[in-house]
Amino acid sequence: MEHRGTLPLETSRLLLRPFRAADGEAMYRNWAKDPEVTRYLTWQPHAGPEVSCQLASRWEQESQKPDFYQWAIVPKELGEPIGGISVVRTDEAHSSAEIGYCIGRPWWGQGLTAEALRAVIEYLIRQVGFRRVSAQHDVNNPNSGKVMRKAGMKKEGILRATGANTTNPRCDMAVYSILAEELDLSPAPLFRPLARSRQALSEAECLRILREEKRGVLSVLGDEGYPYGLPLNHWYDPADGRIYFHSGPTGHKIDAMLREPKASFCVLRQAELSEDGWSCYFDSVIVFGRLELVRDHDRALEISRQVSYKFTGDKDYIEWEVAHSGAKVLCFALIPEHISGKRVHEK
């Protein structure tokens, strides 16, 4: 293994380079001041731009060391950092490195973090000589696991009560890794790719449809093994990447969910009339994941409010409904494992 330090790296959309003292303002503006960004990290939001400037200046100095690895994530079209990715821990005896990363909220869901992670993995293995590269995330932050899988990492397991972050002093951590001999392998995808890739929607567009549309069809494994699909109102929370539903406390879907948590959810955006005046374009998004009950009652009430706000802005009415029906409401979440979408010309 030969340490080479934070050399500049390039991908199709990104420049990964050492931090500069002048990056402090962009760091504070683009991600370091946002509590949603630091929600699952070990450091609190920066109190002001001077904190970010001091840190960027320190990183610029340390980037001269051959065993220091800390990159600014810079989209080529923007020209300023939107996040950072670094080696947070090394084990020289086992030739292993652990990576950490964060990125500003406006750039979530665009595949940029996975693109940066893959580039750093390749550099650490191919040029520095690490044999194993790993990363961890709070199990309540499944989107980070999705980033790791996209970058080619495999889930090893869960370390219980070994992590801590700004919202949880003791949390379970999911561990992912990739070995040098696995770097060039192309594992079979867990979910099937779209047959017509040119019709595929971007991840950002899929998430926008999930945010904006009011309802979709949830499909579960029903009684006697029959598929059971039912229309449901939903709320997508970008803070944790989960899709939430509210329901009565009993019924076919609840029984099915408790028996088998695997499910899919399909959302269809209202069709657009084509130029010919009679055929239509429509967009659809399908989410595969696992269902989980929301056991915190206050969180269930907040989910009920958010679902209701998609239909009316009458706060007094919503609070009346929550006060009178909240005790009976059961909420559950779909934790996405795969999201895809496509645009179809129906004619």
Q: What is the model's pLDDT at position 186? A: 46
Q: For 272-324, give the DSSP string.
A: EE-TTSS-EEEEEEEEEEEEEE---HHHHHHHHHHHHHTT---HHHHHHHHHH
Q: Mean pLDDT throughout 101-117? A: 93
pTM score of the predicted model: 0.59
d(CA 290, CA 262): 5
User: What domains lie within the chain, and their CATH numbers?
Assistant: 9-182 (3.40.630.30), 197-346 (2.30.110.10)
Determine how β-strand 70-75 pairs with β-strand 235-237: unpaired
Q: What is the model's pLDDT at position 200? A: 85
Model pLDDT for residues 251-271, shown as the tens digit of each residue = 899 999 988 999 999 999 977
What 8-state DSSP symbol labels residue 67? T
CB 245 within 8 A of CB 234: yes
Q: What is the model's pLDDT at position 189? A: 54
Model pLDDT for residues 74-95, shown as the tens digit of each residue = 999 899 999 999 999 999 999 9
